[in-house]
Structure 1
Amino acid sequence: MSTPRLFLDAPLEAGREIPLPPAQAHYLGSVMRRGAGDQVLAFNGADGEWLARIVALRKDRGSLVPDRRTRPQASCPDLRLLVAVLKREAMEWVVEKATELGVARIQPVLTRRSVVDRVNLARLTAIAREAAEQCERLDLPMLDEARPLHGVLDGWDGTPLLVAAERAGAPPLAAVLEGLQLPAAWLVGPEGGFDRAELDDLRRRAFVSPVGLGPRILRAETAAVAGLALLQARAGDWNQS
């Protein structure tokens, strides 16, 4: 039986008892059928991963004690995703897959053709946490509130930003990735694509590189994952043993 992994928003150190949030206590007891004395793996994004013992567990209350660290904290590659706000299910799927792919930050953006104008940040954070627990990463991506695209670009720090630009005669993403090193960011537009004014604005910015993703028109969520996978394979941590 696999050992459950939990993200805890608390310092982790040997012998320090940590109360469990109600949702995690319920998950361990009612879903995973664990009890006092059973082991879990805990991480918090700062102190590495720890093997811990459940001290007490009853309905939606419980606590655990870390015993020993099993993995030191590893730095997350500075790979960022900017994605136009999508419909709920597609947005949740993108956040889950971006977390699995090791993205450090997810910035939802509002564009002229966006069909949604807000995100449920608490829901998306919960999805990212669950994905991190499942995929064995040691931290969570930072999730930002949705902001207008032009505002995000105006405050950008100069990190190379690759933009999925369909039907724009842009060079292939694989060609642009030659020699690229992180930090870098990947921007995907809305279901209807960027409008002409947005593309013109993007091209005027020195840190932006429009790129193509082949001869087929991809759904926004497909483009997000495809681009992130290529970035990780060429410039990210997929090359680490």
Structure 2
Amino acid sequence: MSIPRLYAEADLAEGAEIDALPGQGHYLGQVMRKREGDLLVLFNGRHGEWRARIAAIRKDKASFVPEARIREQVASPDIRLLLAPVKRDALDWTVEKATELGVRRIQPVITARTVVGRVNTDRLRAVAREAAEQCERLDLPEIAEPMDLHRALDGWDGAPLLVGDARGNAPPAGVVLAGKAPPIGLLVGPEGGFTGQELDAVRRRPFVSPAALGPRILRAETAAVAGLAVLQALAGDWAVPT
């Protein structure tokens, strides 16, 4: 039987009983059919990954006892995604895949053509948590509150920021990324694209580099995932032995 892997907010230490997060007791007992004494794996983004056992489980409540650390904590590379929010299902999918790809921070940015009026960041954090549990990641990406595009760029720390160029005038992403390493970010616009005024304002930032993501027009969520894969392959941790 599969061993569940769950995120914990509490500190992880040998023999210290901790409470499950809301929903985890129901998941373990009703979905996974686990009982007291069964094994599971815990991580909290700070203390590595631990083998643990279910100390108690009743209805929707549970507690765990960590037994031994099985992986030391390793931070994800400082790769960031600035993304104009898209519709709910596409946004959830993008956050899930960005988490699997190891992005450290996801910043929703509001643009002139953003069609989504509200972003449920609590839901997105839950999506990211579940994705991290499944992909054996040791930390969670930060999901920031939505911010106006220009305000987000005003607060940027100067790390290289790639922006996809659908006009076909930019060099390939592989050329732009040559010699670069994290911290590094990717900016993806809305389905309708940036306005000309927005794109001009973005390009005036000294840390921004336009980059082509191939000869085809990509949907926003596709551009985000494809761009992050390129960043990881050329400037991230994909080339690092595991």
TM band (smaller chain): over 0.9
Q: Which residue of 1 aligns with 2:194?
A: 194
Q: Which residue of 1 aligns with 2:15?
A: 15
Name structure 2 gaps, 5 residues minimum: none
Name structure 1 gaps, 5 residues minimum: none
Q: Which residue of 1 aligns with 2:118?
A: 118
Q: Which residue of 2 aligns with 1:137?
A: 137
Measured after TM superposition, the shift of residue 172 of structure 1 is: 1.0
Q: Which residue of 2 aligns with 1:183?
A: 183
Superposed counterparts of 1:46-195, under 5 Å: 46-195=46-195
Measured after TM superposition, the shift of residue 103 of structure 1 is: 0.3
Residues 110, 117 of structure 1: 8 Å contact kept: no
SS at match of 2:63: strand
Looking at structure 1, the residues matched to 209 and 118 of structure 2 have their Cα atoms a distance apart, in angstroms, of 27
| TM-score normalised by structure 1 residue count | 0.98
SS at match of 2:23: helix
Looking at structure 1, the residues matched to 128 and 7 of structure 2 have their Cα atoms a distance apart, in angstroms, of 10
Measured after TM superposition, the shift of residue 232 of structure 1 is: 0.3
| TM-score normalised by structure 2 residue count | 0.98
Looking at structure 2, the residues matched to 224 and 162 of structure 1 have their Cα atoms a distance apart, in angstroms, of 11
Q: Which residue of 2 aligns with 1:233?
A: 233
Measured after TM superposition, the shift of residue 80 of structure 1 is: 0.3
Superposed counterparts of 1:193-212, under 5 Å: 193-212=193-212
Looking at structure 2, the residues matched to 102 and 62 of structure 1 have their Cα atoms a distance apart, in angstroms, of 29
CA distances 1:141-186 after superposition (whole Å, capped 9, x unpaired): 0000111100000111101000012115111111111111111000
- The residue type paired with residue 196 of structure 1 is G
Measured after TM superposition, the shift of residue 117 of structure 1 is: 2.8
Looking at structure 2, the residues matched to 22 and 185 of structure 1 have their Cα atoms a distance apart, in angstroms, of 33
SS at match of 1:65: strand
- The residue type paired with residue 138 of structure 1 is L
| Percentage of matched positions with identical amino acids | 63
- The residue type paired with residue 59 of structure 2 is K
- The residue type paired with residue 139 of structure 1 is D
Residues 168, 215 of structure 2: 8 Å contact kept: no
Q: Which residue of 1 aligns with 2:41?
A: 41
SS at match of 2:181: coil
Looking at structure 2, the residues matched to 230 and 21 of structure 1 have their Cα atoms a distance apart, in angstroms, of 35
Looking at structure 2, the residues matched to 22 and 166 of structure 1 have their Cα atoms a distance apart, in angstroms, of 43
Q: Which is worse superposed, 65-74 or 111-120?
A: 111-120
Residues 6, 43 of structure 2: 8 Å contact kept: yes
Q: Which residue of 2 aligns with 1:6?
A: 6
Residues 52, 66 of structure 1: 8 Å contact kept: yes
The alignment covers a number of residue pairs equal to 241
SS at match of 1:22: coil
- The two structures, once aligned, show a CA RMSD in angstroms of 0.8
Looking at structure 2, the residues matched to 117 and 173 of structure 1 have their Cα atoms a distance apart, in angstroms, of 31
SS at match of 2:115: coil
